[in-house]
Amino acid sequence: MHTESGFTVDRVWRAVAAAKAWDLGSLVSSDAWIVLPLCYRGRMAARKKRSISMPPELDAEIAAAAAEAGLSYSAWLADTARKEFTIRAGLAAVSQFEQDHGAFTAEEIADADAWAAGAIERSNRPRASARRRSA
C-alpha cells in the first residue's frame, strides 16, 4: 500500500524503526506515524537560502511589518519582492499600451485613480484568516 506521498507503508515503518534505533524513540510513540522521506521534491516548495546584509533600522522595520502582517520575516520579504515585480510589470504594460495606443486621457487617469483608491481600501480590510505563514 502506498501513502499519499508515494512512500510504502513498509518504508514508513522502517523509518520509524530507524529513528528508534538512533535513540530517537522519545520522539516516536508506538502508535504514531513518522515519515522521514529522503526527498521532498514532489511535496514541498523549493526554497533558495540567501544571506543578506542590511542596516539595523531596516531590519527592525521589516521584522515589525512582518509581525504586523502575521507573516514570517522570509514570507514578508518574498511577498514584498513579488509586489515589486508586479508593479514593474504593470508599469511596463502601461508604457507599452501608451506606445501602441497613445497617452491616457485625463478622464481615463481619473477613473484609474478612483479604482486604485478603492482597491487600496479593500486591501486594508482585516482578513478572515490571521494565520502566520512562512515563505
Instruction: Say if residue 60 is in the same domain as residue 119.
Output: yes
Instruction: Say if residue 61 is in the same domain as residue 111.
Output: yes
Average of per-residue pLDDT across 68-84 = 96
| CA dist., res. 105 & res. 107, Å (int) | 5
In-domain check, residue 133: no
Decide: pTM greater than 0.75.
no
In-domain check, residue 21: yes
Task: Identify the pLDDT of residue 124.
Answer: 87
Task: Identify the pLDDT of residue 60.
Answer: 97
Helix ranges (H only) for the chain are 9-19, 56-69, 73-101, 106-123
% the chain with pLDDT above 70: 61
Instruction: Say if residue 1 is in the same domain as residue 33.
Output: yes
In-domain check, residue 51: no
Q: Is 69 exposed, middle or buried (0-12, 13-18, 19+ CB in 10 A)?
A: middle
In-domain check, residue 128: no
> Range of 32's domain?
1-46
